[in-house]
Amino acid sequence: MVVPLLKLQDLIQEIRGAKTQAQEREVIQKECAHIRASFRDGDPLQRHRQLAKLLYVHMLGYPAHFGQMECLKLIASPRFTDKRVGYLGAMLLLDERHDAHLLITNSIKNDLSQGIQPVQGLALCTLSTMGSAEMCRDLATEVEKLLLQPSTYVRKKAILTAVHMIRKVPELSDIFLPPCAKLLHERHHGVLLCTITLIMELCERSPAALRHFRKMVPQLVQILRMLVTTGCSTEHSVSGVSDPFLQVQILRLLRILGRNHEESSETMNDLLAQVATNTDTSRNAGNAVLFETVLTIMDIHSAAGLRVLAVNILGRFLLNSDKNIRYVALMSLLRLVQSDHSAVQRHRPTVVECLRETDASLSRRALELSLALVNSSNVRAMIQELQAFLESCPFDLRADCASGILLAAERFAPTKRWHIDTILHVLTMAGTHLRDDAVANLTQLIGGAQELHAYSVRRLYSALAGDISQQPLVQVAAWCIGEYGDLLLEGNCEVEPLQVEGEEVLALLEKVLQSQMSLPTTRGYALTALMKLSTRLPGDNYRIRQVVSIYGSCMDVELQQRAVEYNTLFRKYDHMRAAILEKMPLVEQGGPQVDEEAKESKEAAASVPTEPQASKLLDLLDLLDDTSEDAQHPPALNPSPEGTLVHLLDLPCAPPPLGKPQEKGVLEKEGENVLFLLLCRVRLICPFPPVCPYSMPILVGKGFIQSCHSLLAPFRVFPLFQTSSPGQQGPASSPISSHISSHFPIGPQTLPPQALGISCSFYTKCSFPGTSSDWLSRGRHFSLKCQMPSHTTPI
Amino acid sequence: MAIYEFIHNFVEVLDEYFSRVSELDIMFNLDKVHIILDEMVLNGCIVETNRARILAPLQILDKMSESCIEGSAKQHRFIGNVNTL
């Protein structure tokens, strides 16, 4: 049966005629079967046609590996068409992973030495594309011979084959080094182009080659100058620029040679300036050359004027209508902004314009660049622009934009009020996209700006009244209202006149508590704020007490605990409520140190690491009750009959010792995951017996007690750990309580002369009569950072 | 950006060879396109950007296949023509 063999064209037509994928696959499979049959026993004259068809099918994605041996046969045949298709097939179908490629080595060798140019060209082409390391080593000498042949057609291909060989087998670079100098003298642009590529490859591989080629910089400069200044030869010019490809390659090579080398850089300076000014920029070819020039200027040791010129060129690129050019300009400016800040500042308006791009990658680069350009003089305008951008930008950029704005505001804020305004604005617009420490930062900031308390609480109140869905905003607002609720009600602030009733505030906080949108942490904030308002607001606290008692049986453990403890405050310790819920002192910016300490404490779950040199301060109230102490000590050492209570409430509440707004009793914590309320009593020691009338139970992990007491006992301060009333103790608590009692009576001792940092962590479990709690399941811990001041006087 | 320019150049070469190239031209003459590409790019590096020089060997090949002369005669003629480049 003779099946007429299709020509390639016909096959293509047939394939394109197929209406569906299934049909196409059918056609191709039929044809492949024919091809396979013909390979086995077909006419050698038609083989190249079959292989050509096979290659087409391969391009479409179908398997074609059975053609590999055919390639070999075709390469070996003396006819040119066969060789042509054979080599093409070899390039496409064979690569290093198949073993068959080594078989081509011999054929290539024969072809290379035969002296027939097109054949040599073919062979070199194939070798440079898929030559493996062994092949390269075998054929290196052949290629080297060809490098020096008179025919340019072969020479340029040989050079690029050498490039490939060097990449595969770096040792061969020694062979190819010497001819380069001669090759640079060529006039043929093709050869020049390839030579420069070869030199670039050599320089990148070995510093010795780099030094060798630095001597040729003047020559390269000469070539480039000729290209730029002489009129363009029509055969190489592209839209008015004479051989931009060669120019670009030379510039790249100059960049490599001039890097970190003063002398070469100086030789290049004039030339670069000349290229930059003479190139026609109306078409893309000119822009390409200019861009390479700019990159080169950036990388070498160029004169200052030249760098400014480069920045100006980039600025001009930014005004171009072509998006590619603008993108490229933005990326390069970002690299430059560190080193040439003032020069880039001049283009700030254009960069800000680019923020409004519709294209996502452009606007992202513009955003990064704008953030890098913010400095103290232009901060107001820039932040305004950035805020406008924040409103309209796509979601994936919002987080970056918001955090960038906050960072910039932090570094360059001209006034505190402006800072607070900016953060507020960002919170209202993009609150959900912010990082979690933004809340902490803002509370810190507000707390520090004494004069702006009234202003900020008003702003926050109105913002909260408008919208309670943005969690960070709600958290900050709740905290603020809690702290400065009395200022809110005063209503005589000159900037933000606002008449607010106490009831409205309570209603708003309750709304937050009940809202579906509030996170558990937000609810915690709101509850604490409500409690604080009980002291700040005039009038009866009935409403607050009601809310708090409702949450005493809330499902969320955190809230429940807080509510329960607050309830107790109302019921039993009402006289102390004011003291506990006083305004916070300014929290010291613990920052990352606190974070890592908090993290450490989390890891040291059961064990108690006592780490020295924790410098976060917590002055346990030193009991020396005389005023001869340093200012650092709390003068509130007056041992009141009930003892001084220090409540260590979590962030953001940390109560001061009575009335003194110094850094005291501060427990800094990581914001998000450790919000909980802990009541810890520190009792002033003697002459008071360690009998505490309080029955708020706190159980403490065993290991902690030992170390804690051993360390703290000498300082005559110790945390008083209460156990619950007998009968409600769990099994774990009894050894602890006995341990505690053994430490209680402590006589006067001297304080250590130096500060000792102690970091202790312990588990606390709150058990309260009425709540069924599992001893082990609800563990909480925080870290107590204690530092005894060094200047304590002995008693 | 130079790559951008190079692609443009390649398209122009194709345009000159095929006279107003379209996608169909490339598909139906895939082998010729491969030859052009091999002349211009070698393993990722640009070999030649001069249109005349690239198309010369191809034109010779075309002429030969038209006159249906195969075998070593083609090769010799090829050599003669290429040497003049």
pLDDT tens digits along A500-530? 666 777 777 777 777 777 777 777 777 777 7
Q: What pLDDT does B71 receive?
A: 47
Environment class of B13 (CB within 10 Å of its CB; exposed 0-12, middle 13-18, buried 19+): buried
Structural contact between residues A597 and A783, judged by C-beta atoms closer than 8 angstroms:
yes
The most confident of the ranges A186-200, A454-468, A716-730 is: A186-200
Cα–Cα separations (whole angstroms), residue B60 to A155, A500, B18, B55, B69: 20, 93, 15, 9, 12
Nearest-neighbour CA in chain B from A80: distance (Å) = 7
Structural contact between residues A7 and A49, judged by C-beta atoms closer than 8 angstroms:
yes
Q: Specify the DSSP class assigned to residue A66.
A: G
How many of the other CB atoms lie within 10 Å of CB of A487? 19
B8 touches A at CB < 8 Å: yes
Contacts with A204 from chain B: Cβ below 8 Å: none
B6 touches A at CB < 8 Å: yes
Q: Does residue A679 register a pLDDT over 70? A: no
B34 touches A at CB < 8 Å: yes
Contacts with A324 from chain B: Cβ below 8 Å: 1, 4
Angle between helices A47-60 and B30-40 (to 10 degrees): 80
Q: Does residue A753 register a pLDDT over 60? A: no
Burial annotation A62-99 (CB, 10 A radius, 16+ → b, else e)? eebeebbebbbebbbbebbbbbbbbbbbbbbbbeeeee
Return the C-alpha torsion angle A545, A547, A552, A556, nearest 10: -150
ipTM: 0.74
> How would residue A663 be classed by pLDDT, with cut points 50, 70 and 90?
very low
DSSP E strand boundaries for A221-322:
237-238, 241-242
Cβ within 8 Å of B, A 481-510: none
Q: What pLDDT does A741 receive?
A: 40
Contacts with A287 from chain B: Cβ below 8 Å: 1
DSSP E strand boundaries for A643-779:
681-683, 699-700, 718-720, 757-765
Structural contact between residues A543 and A534, judged by C-beta atoms closer than 8 angstroms:
no
Q: What pLDDT does A301 receive?
A: 73
Residue A1 CB-half CA count within 13 A? 3
Tell me if residue A719 falls in helix, strand or coil: strand
In what helix (H) or strand (E) does residue B41 lie, and over which residues does it extend? strand B41-42
Q: Specify the DSSP class assigned to residue A99.
A: G
> How would residue A22 be classed by pLDDT, with cut points 50, 70 and 90?
confident
pLDDT tens digits along B35-47? 888 888 877 777 7
The most confident of the ranges A20-29, A646-655, A667-676, A696-705 is: A20-29
Asked whether the beta carbons of residue A292 and residue B2 sit closer than 8 angstroms, the reply is yes
Cβ within 8 Å of B, A 100-159: 116-119, 121, 124-125, 128-129, 151-153, 156-157
pLDDT tens digits along A606-622? 333 333 323 233 333 33
Question: Average pLDDT, whole number, for chain A?
Answer: 66
**For chain B, percent of residues with pLDDT exceeding 90:** 0
Mean pLDDT in residue range A575-598: 54
pLDDT tens digits along B16-65? 888 777 777 777 777 788 888 888 887 777 777 777 778 887 787 777 77
Longest dimension (CA), chain A: 119
A80 touches B at CB < 8 Å: yes
Q: Specify the DSSP class assigned to residue B45.
A: E
Contacts with A288 from chain B: Cβ below 8 Å: 1-2, 4-5
- Residue A623 or residue A209, greater confidence: A209
Q: Does residue A278 register a pLDDT over 70? A: yes
Q: Does residue A738 register a pLDDT over 60? A: no
pLDDT tens digits along A185-200? 777 777 888 888 888 8
In what helix (H) or strand (E) does residue A783 lie, and over which residues does it extend? strand A780-787
Which one of A84, A153, A164 has the shortest CB-CB distance to B43? Answer: A164
Q: What pLDDT does A582 receive?
A: 67
Structural contact between residues A316 and A277, judged by C-beta atoms closer than 8 angstroms:
no
Rounded distance, CA A706 to CA A235, Å? 90
Nearest-neighbour CA in chain A from B44: distance (Å) = 9
Tell me if residue A148 falls in helix, strand or coil: coil
pLDDT tens digits along A401-438? 878 887 777 777 777 777 777 777 777 777 677 766 77
Contacts with A199 from chain B: Cβ below 8 Å: none
